[in-house]
């Protein structure tokens, strides 16, 4: 009975949409947003709103006479059930033409189960696990994958003389993925992993782990920890325990040292080597303008990779809507998505037609003090890099 009713709703929704199309109309195009605005996603949520406000100020809120309406829902953190329910509500009741957002992989996977049968294009802003895309033909991604940024970092570490490394990562999905990807790539290059430590998610004191790693005398360590708390504490403790004096280099994914958290880490961040798809110091006019406009919007807070992902997802959606002259068809939308290629504040990006995943430069950066401000300076680039695991 319930399923029957849902089908009726869907049918009714499609009828209304269909009628609108025939009338060549002025009804708004609706974008449903599912993102985390409360709990752990609070900061990211604020950045998302700032970017959307900024984007619509720059690019307007009408295309071909049709207003772009954004309907926002909060999934409240890692909550797949919630995300799925919100996606259903947005599709069935709000008749959205496309969905955007999604910070967490479990939520993205759950939304996928709704997007495929209802043929709703989804523009992923974060959710960085590799395996999301293959199973969800109406999804495309504008962030990165953890593998995509980890493999170049392992290559770079070996290239710059690291031979023996210690690996430490948080004991949960993304941590295990990244840690093991690093280990595999680094050993494939010819390096040796001296040992690995899986850190419980709620760990707060890292001194013993640090001492254990230091005693193993590695050339460097790779860390994957939670950017909001433990990463900052870890880096500060590493400095207090003399990692810099012992000449042990620290490698990590760029989310640990975003421009927003660098002040909290302070001096302990200097010399950290990270890999990421975006850094604030990226030297292009588009990036400088983006940062200036964003900081005016946010009240001085610098943008991070999350903000850039949001900006690019909206660029993609606007391009797709423009190309269809306001008559949105899901399959045509996905055809256009597969040809997307444009300049982002992070550099050139493209959507891989086979995987609908992002192809972009991966930057190796070193955290430095420049003009009294901590920044990530790009020191090497792996150009137009694809997630290797999706092309196996």
What are the residues binding other proteins (CB under 8 A)?
38-43, 46, 171, 197-200, 202-205, 207-209, 211-212, 215, 228-230, 232-233, 236-237, 240-242, 245, 260-261, 263-266
Nearer to other proteins, 2 or 204 (CB): 204
Instruction: Compute the 3-state secondary structure of the chain and give helix, strand, coil in percent, each to the nearest 5.
Output: 45, 25, 30
CB 290 within 8 A of CB 385: no
Nearer to other proteins, 28 or 76 (CB): 76
Cα(383)–Cα(356) distance, integer angstroms: 18
Coil, strand or helix at 134: coil
Q: Shortest Cβ distance from residue 256 to other proteins (Å)?
A: 11
Nearer to other proteins, 18 or 195 (CB): 195
Nearer to other proteins, 234 or 290 (CB): 234
Q: Shortest Cβ distance from residue 146 to other proteins (Å)?
A: 21
Nearer to other proteins, 36 or 130 (CB): 36
Which H or E run includes 266? none
What's 255's DSSP letter? G
Nearer to other proteins, 94 or 267 (CB): 267
Cα(332)–Cα(349) distance, integer angstroms: 21
Give start and end residues of each alpha helix (H) in 190-304: 207-215, 230-240, 262-265, 285-298
203 Cβ neighbours under 8 A, 6+ residues apart: 230
Nearer to other proteins, 160 or 228 (CB): 228
Q: Shortest Cβ distance from residue 166 to other proteins (Å)?
A: 11
Backbone angles phi and psi of 58, in degrees to 5: -75, -40
Q: Shortest Cβ distance from residue 3 to other proteins (Å)?
A: 36
Q: Shortest Cβ distance from residue 345 to other proteins (Å)?
A: 21
Q: Shortest Cβ distance from residue 352 to other proteins (Å)?
A: 33
Greatest alpha-carbon span in the chain: 73
CB 253 within 8 A of CB 343: no
CB 221 within 8 A of CB 166: yes
Q: Shortest Cβ distance from residue 43 to other proteins (Å)?
A: 5
For 93-157, where are the E strands, in sequence order? 98-101, 122-124, 139-141
CB 109 within 8 A of CB 92: no
């Amino acid at each position: 009975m319930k399923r029957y009713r849902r089908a009726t709703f869907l049918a009714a929704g499609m009828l209304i949409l269909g009628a609108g199309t025939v009338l060549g109309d002025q009804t708004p195009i609706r974008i449903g947003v599912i993102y985390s605005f409360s709990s752990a996603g609070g900061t990211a949520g604020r950045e998302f709103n700032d970017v959307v406000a900024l984007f619509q100020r720059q690019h307007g809120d009408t295309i071909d006479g049709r207003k772009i309406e954004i309907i926002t829902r909060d999934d409240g953190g890692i909550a797949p059930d919630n995300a799925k329910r919100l996606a259903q509500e947005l599709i069935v009741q709000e008749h959205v033409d496309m969905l955007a957002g999604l910070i967490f992989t479990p939520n993205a996977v759950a939304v996928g189960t709704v997007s495929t049968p209802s043929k709703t294009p989804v523009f992923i802003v974060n959710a960085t696990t590799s395996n999301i895309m293959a199973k969800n033909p109406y999804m495309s991604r504008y962030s990165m994958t953890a593998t995509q940024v980890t493999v170049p970092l392992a290559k770079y570490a070996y290239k710059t003389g690291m031979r023996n490394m210690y690996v430490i990562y948080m004991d949960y999905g993304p941590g295990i993925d990244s840690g093991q990807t690093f280990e595999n790539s680094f050993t494939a290059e010819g390096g040796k992993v001296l040992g690995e430590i899986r850190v419980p998610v709620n760990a707060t004191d890292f001194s013993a782990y640090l001492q254990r790693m230091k005693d193993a005398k590695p050339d460097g360590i790779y860390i994957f920890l939670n950017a909001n708390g433990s990463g900052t504490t870890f880096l500060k403790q590493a400095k207090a325990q003399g990692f810099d004096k012992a000449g042990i280099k620290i490698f990590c994914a760029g989310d640990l040292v975003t421009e927003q958290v660098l002040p909290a880490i302070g001096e302990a961040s200097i010399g950290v080597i990270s890999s990421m798809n975006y850094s604030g110091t990226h030297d292009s006019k588009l990036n400088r303008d983006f940062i200036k406009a964003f900081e005016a919007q946010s009240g001085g807070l610098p943008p991070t990779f999350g903000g850039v992902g949001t900006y690019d997802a909206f660029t993609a959606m606007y391009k797709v809507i423009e190309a269809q002259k306001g008559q949105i068809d899901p399959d045509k939308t996905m055809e256009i998505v597969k040809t997307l290629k444009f300049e982002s504040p992070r550099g050139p990006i493209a959507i891989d037609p086979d995987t609908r995943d992002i192809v972009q430069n991966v930057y190796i950066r070193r955290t430095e003090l420049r003009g009294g401000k901590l920044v990530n300076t790009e020191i090497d680039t792996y150009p137009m890099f694809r997630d290797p695991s999706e092309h196996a």
